[in-house]
Amino acid sequence: MYLCIGIDWADQSHAICIRVRETRRILAEFEIIHTAAGIKQLLNVCTL
């Protein structure tokens, strides 16, 4: 199974969408803030 991660980069926060490439089923949608803590949050979700 391959995953696609879409990131909408903005100034203050970034919208994230993670989905299964083959079926396009959305696994997660969330926002992170534009800080090191926000990037860490994204990395933590991606390594589950």
Q: pLDDT in tens for each of the 48 residues of the chain?
A: 899 999 998 888 999 999 999 999 999 999 999 999 999 999 998 887
Print burial letters for 10-38: b (CB count within 10 Å at least 16), e (below 16). eeeebebebbeeeeeeeeeeeebeeeeeb
Amino acid type, 9: W
pTM (2 d.p.): 0.80
